[in-house]
Amino acid sequence: SLADGEFSPVFRLLTIFAYGTYADYLAEAANLPPLTEAQKNKLRHLSVVTLAAKIKCIPYSVLLEQLQLKNVRQLEDLVIEAVYADVLRGSLDQRNQRLEVDYSIGRDIRREELSTITRTLQEWCQGCEVVLSGIEEQVSRANQHKEQQLALKQQIESEVANLKKTIKVTTAAAAAATSQDPEQHLTELREPAPGTNQRQASKKTSKAKGLRSSAKIWSKSN
């Protein structure tokens, strides 16, 4: 109702403070109520916020043109006021003649901008779903790798345990095979092996026969 009544200029000025810029006000200044210096500076601050939403490094030349300021000194004073008012945070790059914005407040949204915002949020949600899917896939791969490593570890431990058992049994069998009772060992050393006496007796008999034969040959020759 304000837009169509006698207060339409005031309503239009309100919408400029909500959505517009100082340049918008200058374009319609003839049909709008006049502004005080404080109101002009406030609208200039909001205009810087609108620019910061589009570009984070704003050249001084663009700011001077959009804010209708005469020199750099006025521009820097205005930016410093905006920083102290917590409208934005950033730094003035005097060497490169630009404003570097790190943060700025948000402004009101026009109805016609809702579809764009909705589309942007949908794209953001889709991107989040893709990232989440990738994370879940990585987690699944990590869990599979962990299970494989645990299974491999158990297999190695089982093989090591079996190998230890085999070595233990083999060592015990070898020790049992090589160990003897001391008395039995001494008895075996004292007693000759079977067949040894017979060989020695046969050797003596052969030697005696040889001597007898030699004696007979000697007596015949004499």
Q: pTM of this prediction?
A: 0.57
Same-domain status, 75 and 23 = yes
When pLDDT is cut at 50, 70 and 90, the band that residue 109 belongs to is confident
> Would you give the distance in Å from CA 66 to the centre of its chain?
45
176 inside domain: no
State the DSSP H helix or E strand holding residue 104, giving kind and residue range, or none if neither.
strand 98-104
* Structure token pair of residue 100: 């570097």
The answer to whether position 94 is within a domain reads yes
In a domain, 47, yes or no: yes
Do the domain assignments include residue 78? yes
Can you give the C-alpha Rg of the chain in angstroms? 55
pLDDT at 128 over 50: yes
Give the pLDDT mean for 65-75: 92
Q: Does the pLDDT at position 4 exceed 90? A: no
- Looking at residue 120, its pLDDT comes to 92
Q: Is 96 part of any domain?
A: yes
159-168 average pLDDT score = 88
Mean per-residue pLDDT over the chain, rounded:
82
Round to whole Å and give the CA distance between 70 and 58. 17
pLDDT higher than 80, residue 188 = no
CA dihedral 77, 78, 82, 85 (to 10 degrees): 70
Segment 176-200 mean pLDDT: 55
User: Quick one: pLDDT at residue 82?
Assistant: 92
Q: Across residues 124-144, what is the average pLDDT?
A: 93
Q: Which residue segment(s) compose the domain that 132 sits in?
A: 109-171
Mean pLDDT lowest among 38-47, 89-98, 128-137, 182-191:
182-191
pLDDT at residue 222, as a whole number: 47
- Whether 13 is covered by a domain: the verdict is yes
pLDDT at 35: 92
Q: What is the per-residue pLDDT for 170?
A: 85
CB distance 52 to 104 below 8 Å: yes
Residue 218 domain-assigned?
no
Kindly state whether residues 100 and 113 are assigned to the same domain: no
Given 51, 86, 104, which residue is the final one in a domain?
A: 104
In this prediction, residue 173 has a pLDDT band, given cuts at 50, 70 and 90, of confident
Residue 123 located in a structural domain: yes
Per DSSP, the chain holds a count of helices (H) and strands (E) of 8, 3
Q: Are residues 35 and 53 in the same domain?
A: yes
State yes or no: pLDDT of 215 exceeds 50. Answer: no
Mean pLDDT of 64-88: 92
Segment 102-118 mean pLDDT: 88
Question: Could you give the number of structural domains in the chain?
Answer: 2
101 close to 59: Cβ distance less than 8 angstroms: no
